[in-house]
Amino acid sequence: MRTAAARTLGVFLAIFAAGVLLRGFRDIAKGDDIDAAAVFSISTTLLLAIVIGWLGSMALRNPAVLSPAVVVLFAVLAAATAAYEPRIFAPERPLALSPRQAAALRYLMHAEELQWPHIGIAGADSEGYLAMRELWRSPNADAAFKELVLRGSTAGQLYGLIGVRRTDPLFYNCNSWRCSTRRGHVEVFGGCVINHESIASIVSAPDGVRLPRGMTLEQWFRSKRKLEAPLVVDIEGGGYSSIYFDSIN
């Protein structure tokens, strides 16, 4: 029984390692938004694939060396890795988007900064805002936002979370933790200022506005006639989703 379990684990680990390896090579091939963090992530992914593959081959050649405890340990490790990096197993699905919507998705997928709706001295509509509006109008908006969450750049994932916070709250709850626990920063362009803000605080700020269901950010603001503290919005409380979508007719 133990031998059969170890051999099964070996096959699983070999398949899992192949998936991790393919994911790493695909990131290298894309190479259009590679930065220091991405290089570290790719290197870690490739190392993980090698280790998992080695363990799988060891389990196939000599199952007796793997005790049940080790079997459980690496099964948990594989499951945790799949949870933290769902792109390894998520298939890429073609989306039925118009040319403009497809262009909007591509822009958001590789976005280098999170843009508020209006930027610059003239307060012009930002490219990020216009792209989000374009996807929001699509019948496949939900699927497009999920693609951003699973495959986008750091800013692209945040755009995706803003979308699924409105289209699929359950998917949001299952995937937002990967960004809300990150320690890095991302550029945020609002008005005439570009700031480096914490990724975690953009997703869930301790003092962020929590909008009641059905209330827009504008309605909430009007109800606070004597608001003294500065207004803080995040994705978790619905503020970002309201900013991008509630003004759309």
Domain boundaries, the chain: 2-88, 99-245
Residue 172 buriedness (CB in 10 A; 0-12 / 13-18 / 19+): buried
Determine how many CB atoms are found less than 10 A away from the CB of residue 231: 13
Is residue 113 within 8 A of residue 33, CB to CB? The reply is no
Is residue 104 within 8 A of residue 85, CB to CB? The reply is no
Tell me which of 18-27, 157-166, 238-247 is least confident. 18-27
Among the listed residues 244, 231, 233, the one whose alpha carbon sits nearest the alpha carbon of residue 125 = 244
Residue 249's pLDDT is: 42
Counting residues of the chain whose pLDDT is more than 90, the rounded percentage is: 35
- Distance, CA of 192 to CA of 122 (rounded, Å): 9
- Distance, CA of 120 to CA of 115 (rounded, Å): 11
Whether the predicted pLDDT of 37 surpasses 50? no
Terminal C-alpha separation, the chain: 62
> Which residues are paired to 118 by β-bridges?
125
Overall pTM surpassing 0.85 (yes/no): no
- Distance, CA of 106 to CA of 207 (rounded, Å): 33
Residue 32's pLDDT is: 43
- Evaluated on CA atoms 92, 94, 99, 101, the torsion sign reads negative
Coil, helix or strand for 96?
coil
| Measured CA distances, 5 to 10, 11, 37, 210 (Å) | 9, 10, 37, 48
Determine how many CB atoms are found less than 10 A away from the CB of residue 122: 7
- Distance, CA of 82 to CA of 62 (rounded, Å): 26
- Distance, CA of 195 to CA of 185 (rounded, Å): 9
Residue 238's pLDDT is: 93
Give 148 or 35, the one with higher predicted confidence.
148
Residue 1's pLDDT is: 47
Q: Which two tokens stand for residue 240?
A: 């970002």
- Distance, CA of 201 to CA of 5 (rounded, Å): 43
Residue 73's pLDDT is: 56
Residue 116's pLDDT is: 92
Average pLDDT, the chain: 76
Whether the predicted pLDDT of 34 surpasses 50? no
pLDDT band at residue 145 under the 50/70/90 scheme: very high
Give the gyration radius of the chain's Cα atoms.
21
